[in-house]
Chain A
């Protein structure tokens, strides 16, 4: 009985399983048996051809390498770099530019642009030795049209610079000349040959230029998202509430509420829509492309990057006529240099290609600016460069102190006074090189090839420093290789009474300059000082020696847009008063001379680049009430 019941239940299980099998399996078998048809709507794609393996190759073997060659370059209707520019004249010292002198009376702007090019490192007075001949076509108002210049030669190696749209009819064929102008038309622009310039207003500053107005990295919350350019310089603001149309339905209606501003001032918005020649198309364009939606989708990281990049581009290449012209020349020089041109990183990150000279290096890690981006670190050693001016005592104690530093690689003595070179120098483990200078103060910042390290410790023979001061300052410099790290400081300030800049070396709560008579900085600044500063400024420094400090601080601040760094200086005794180069001390004479050179240099720069800092970098346990034994730089605290 029991076994029967068991058997019955077993049978039940078995038949149920069979049924399941038939039901489930049947479908699958059916599907296998019937040829499947692509379901309507299912993606089909490109067919897999049965005879795909048999298809022939697009070219026969041997056809590729055999194509007959002719030494004649393919030619087209217009010029390109290889065909119309003769680089053979540019060998040697790179781009040399000759500027055609103006024929007849010229405007003030024209005059100043000429002066600016003449002061630059590109300029040459001889048209024969020039690699590029520059023809300025500037004066929109005067109506004067330039006539064909003498060395025209069908325009070969010529650059015609048009800062403002030319009202003149073409008096002569441009031919092989490159044209640099704003808003060139697509038809006439020859990519890689002509240069497109920004459109410059008449009142664009010649030099320096207003710094960018961006005050903060990220946009303020609640600020208008987008402003649209309208005719006659007005702006219409569009915000997130505005209606947006679907992509395909080209909207024609008004973009909705939005206040219109008239006048010169730019609206305070995160994005500005500029529609080139057709402002009236802007609103339609806006809607059809759903610009707003797209901008809203943009991640904060991207907005942040774009904001900063616009600001950098403005400051580096756009803000003055001089920068626009130098950028144009730099672009052409890069074409000539070919392999030793600026890499794109140097063009596109601060401080920009005008301040990162490709004649110095094309490797970013050789410059002080890109270590973070490149993941590199400046070298761990420095060269001490000791300037010995009058009265010309060999700085024996100073050499000992510097040579004691574990980071010191070499010592250079720049002998710059009338006394004969001493025959013997102190014994140090450090290699010591003596350079006989030209008795000029600007010699101090000459890029001597004997300097083999990235870091320079610039010293005056009368400076006094201890080894641990040098050690600590150098370690700080490694964290800030693009800045100057110094011991003694001075400040500039706006002197209301005199309506000019003032200078003080008094100890105050802030500073904007460090004295280069004892300071660490990158050796690249020597190259920049010698090769990029206008000659007039270097002459000024030679004539008024106290200015050289100010000039170097201006240069570094203009490049970095950052204040220098101060580190503690043990012998902060006022009577030590050592560190003014050339002059007898900072307390008396330089105080009188310095404000003058601050004003002169600021005028030459076109703006005031110096920035103030209110902090000093000390060792972590500096003057803390803890055991001296715990401190690494304990001798810094000795009174």
Chain B
């Protein structure tokens, strides 16, 4: 019995030793790659997408830890973790306007503005990857697909399938009414009203009772006229928690 046990540990020890050696070799390969192409990763958003996709395919997460080789040698970590901070700041600053929902486009514009003229180019794909990493902090960050783009949620409000579907419906015009929900989704009045009330309470929707016909529930996150509106100094203060 003891002999079997021994064999077991010896096998594990052997494989670990092998992994340690291969890890050292891999580190060297990565260093070589970095010396030639680190700039490419920093400057070329498309190359980053290619890089990320290939990592995902083989089962590697280059952004899991700042202590990982990818982060240390290619600098991808710092790029995305810093972007995470910038995303958090923009979302906090604008939360009172939009209830914690913002389109990917507006987030992109505001982040680019905050980074300034001489910063590296950042793509929407980059933002999505940074946001996916932020979720683990328990802050309610979420990505909601709507009409070909995404709404980014940055508050721990519960948004279930019903809420999401109504948001998607509202995306076309920036607002939605109870009768539109009933006719498109075939829901009863009560179900539609519950969803809309929840969005109102969370500050993600505003009610326009002056509209002719049905009251309209507008989503500030989708107001295109508010895009590229500067973040005011008061809002910027909110951004530093």
Note whether A and B form a binding pair: no
